Structure 1
């Protein structure tokens, strides 16, 4: 059975629910089905929750024309398709800078995720445009964040019974 087929299929209704899931994984222990541990998943999610508020890091120079084309052609359609499907695609590329090194401090990463969620939710006004999708509404941005959290946390399976 592949990690993709064995992972938890999570559906978060709000970002605080995602934080509670990460806290439960921290408290009860977890098994990795994918490549990332809890500190990597939470650090990555915290970065992507921060980008719409503070701004996205620049794409590598060679990728900038590709990102421009995506943003102005198929990007918005990809966003709508992902939101309609209710799931992030597996093995999608990401910014290397948003992938923490393995073996980090799980508790610190969960706390960072908690703070990033609070800041994302408290942000007033529009979020910064996505380098791939362009301008997105507050609702679309929040829904993408929920799918992103469910995707990555789904590869971590609780060790404690009943979770």
Structure 2
């Protein structure tokens, strides 16, 4: 009986708190729409180790570094073997899974305090800058050289993976 009460209580709370990853983004345009939804939410937070502002900073860093370069890339051997294989699996599955509290090697420290909307603004600007970019892209620190469409897919899957820990209250 107690288990049923707990289950019913848990289900009753679902409409108030919803995962922002429902549905998960599948493109950078959908990521921009997701950010619009976050901006309109009553509140937003993460269930993971990082606060929402740090998650959004991390996502922005990744996109920015595809334009400017990653500070500590893995070896070319790693990028051409394990890294390329990992990206191929993610692309085939249509989703990424990685440790969600692992910073990009050599990246500037994330902002662990403050208004998460600053991180949202930075992520929006990074996406727009990436979308407008027509030049060469820098190799990903793990996956190596990617086309613009593959980088867009990688960035979208990265955002979607982090959505696993983002919760919004509408």
Q: Tell whether 2:33 aligns with 1:20.
A: yes
What's 1:127 paired with? 137
Paired with 1:154 and 1:19, the residues of 2 have a C-alpha distance of: 17
In terms of mean alpha carbon deviation, does 33-42 or 96-105 score higher? 96-105
What's 2:85 paired with? 77
Q: Tell whether 2:101 aligns with 1:87.
A: no
What's 1:3 paired with? none
In terms of mean alpha carbon deviation, does 14-23 or 103-112 score higher? 14-23
Alignment of 1:2-81 (within 5 A): 8=21, 10-28=23-41, 29-59=43-73, 67-81=75-89
1:82-123 deviations in whole A, cap 9, x for unaligned? Answer: 111122223164425355132232121111111111100011
Q: After TM superposition, what 4+ stretches of structure 1 lie above 6 angstroms from structure 2? A: none
Q: CA deviation at 1:130?
A: 1.5
Q: Relative to 1, partners in 2 of residues 1:38 and 1:31: Cα closer, same or farther, differing over 3 Å?
A: closer
Q: CA deviation at 1:27?
A: 3.0
Q: Assess if the C-alpha contact under 8 Å between 2:67 and 2:130 holds in 1.
A: yes
Paired with 1:98 and 1:18, the residues of 2 have a C-alpha distance of: 23
Q: Assess if the C-alpha contact under 8 Å between 1:40 and 1:104 holds in 2.
A: no
Q: Point out where structure 2 has 5 or more consecutive residues left out of the alignment.
A: 1-17
SS at the partner of 1:125?
Answer: coil
Q: Point out where structure 1 has 5 or more consecutive residues left out of the alignment.
A: 1-5
In terms of mean alpha carbon deviation, does 144-153 or 101-110 score higher? 101-110
Number of residues of Structure 1 aligned to a counterpart in Structure 2: 149
Paired with 2:63 and 2:56, the residues of 1 have a C-alpha distance of: 10
TM-score where L is the length of structure 2: 0.76
In terms of mean alpha carbon deviation, does 79-88 or 14-23 score higher? 14-23
TM-score where L is the length of structure 1: 0.79
CA RMSD of aligned residues (A): 2.3
Q: Assess if the C-alpha contact under 8 Å between 1:44 and 1:99 holds in 2.
A: no
What's 1:153 paired with? 163
Paired with 2:165 and 2:26, the residues of 1 have a C-alpha distance of: 18
Q: CA deviation at 1:20?
A: 2.6
